Amino acid sequence: MSVREEVAAWLAAEWDPARPRKEFVAAVVEAGWAAPRWPRRWFGRGLSDDEGHVVEEEFRRVGAPGSGQDRHNLYAATVLTFGSDALKERFVGPMLRGEVAMCLLYSEPGAGSDLAAVRTRAVADAEDWVVDGQKVWTSSARTADHGLLLCRTDWSVPKHRGLSFFLFPMRQPGVEVRPLRQITGEAEFNEVFLTGARVPDEHRLGGLGEGWRVLQTALAYERSVMGDRARAGRSATGMAAMGDELVGLAAETGRLGDPVVRQDLARVAALRKVNEWNALRAKAELEQGSSSSVMSLGKLAMSRILHESARVRTALAGPRSMLEGPEEPIGDEATFLALNAYFTSIGGGTDQIQRNIIAERILGLPKEYEVDRDVPFSTGARWVRP
């Protein structure tokens, strides 16, 4: 029996849209379809990449959730890649089943675009680490059980070499979460203050001082997810639906025959298609075990698509784009998308950082001079001269 026949037969027996999602996803994980490319020991089936795509196609065909997590579940993938066997035994399954709420504890007020400059510190204390510092722009922090934490464990070495990475328990004394209000009126992001909080050493991902390497893999997964699942409007309808909505809006406003509008629509469609091709290239590299810089192309393209789509939608809405509220849905959506597009230029690494990565690692242009590259972090770059 081929993989396609096997997964189709399993779905025919198990999938029912009326079945509770949590129950069905647990069955998907148990059967090995959630992460089919992973080893059987870690809830996979040891399938090839092509076979994994077949599994995902069959799940999409019937509209069933739960598959493709070996490409999209950045938390489980990071733990699987860098965690101890004990940590993987404890967390990979629950993460795939959606039983563990997670967040990313990376950015800080003085270390956003330059994540290697984080100052949140972890000090060893017997079998634990005591953590003090502040994180910002943390999505889902208020509901998270654990977070992926980047912090400094050694101040005597250059900034990239003194970092470590932990699976950090959020529900403990010493963790304070404060929501940040966005221009759209939402509060998806938070500040997180850590004061004497603790994390066991057994929760460390990767070796001591190897946090930067772990972070690069986690960021690659995050950029892949953002490139694949860009939001169109208030719901995750995807890039293709966004293009269809723009064409429908152009028809609704009587401007589908306008050559300038058609050119704008074609530009959005071209950006979407190129992004799809780049995503396929990046995923192929990632699945071969490399941290692909091509992910930055997809992340940057996603940002440009959302900004360009918001611009076109605003132009089509005309003066109505200045209105908001349920009484004016066209203007309300245009306003929301125009404001919300800016979050995509920041989350997962700013557009400027993506351009630097593309220039240096894809185009091979010379790196900018870094005065603090080889200076102990405790010394600080302010005393260094090129």
Catalytic positions, written as ranges: 222
- d(CA 340, CA 356) in angstroms, rounded, equals 24
Q: What does 43-109 look like in DSSP terms, one character per residue?
A: T-----HHHHHHHHHHHHHHT--S--HHHH-HHHHHHHHHS-HHHHHHHHHHHHHT-S-EEEE--BT
Q: Cα 220 to the chain's mean position, in Å?
A: 8
Candidates 133, 112, 114; CA nearest to 122 is 133
What's at 123, amino acid-wise? V
- d(CA 305, CA 385) in angstroms, rounded, equals 40
Tokens linked to 377? 């972090």
- d(CA 189, CA 342) in angstroms, rounded, equals 14
- d(CA 287, CA 296) in angstroms, rounded, equals 16
- d(CA 133, CA 116) in angstroms, rounded, equals 15
Do residues 146 and 169 touch, judged by C-beta distance below 8 A?
Answer: yes
Do residues 11 and 56 touch, judged by C-beta distance below 8 A?
Answer: no
Q: Around Cβ 69, how many Cβ atoms within 10 Å?
A: 27
Tokens linked to 205? 């991902």
Backbone φ/ψ region at 171: left (φ over 0), alpha (ψ -120 to 50), beta: beta
Task: Name the burial class of residue 125, with classes exposed (0-12), middle (13-18) and buried (19+) by CB atoms within 10 angstroms of its CB.
Answer: exposed
Beta strands in 111-188 (DSSP E): 121-125, 128-135, 146-152, 163-169, 175-180
Q: State how far the alpha carbon of 307 is from the alpha carbons of 227, 231, 249, 282, 355, in Å.
A: 14, 12, 17, 22, 16
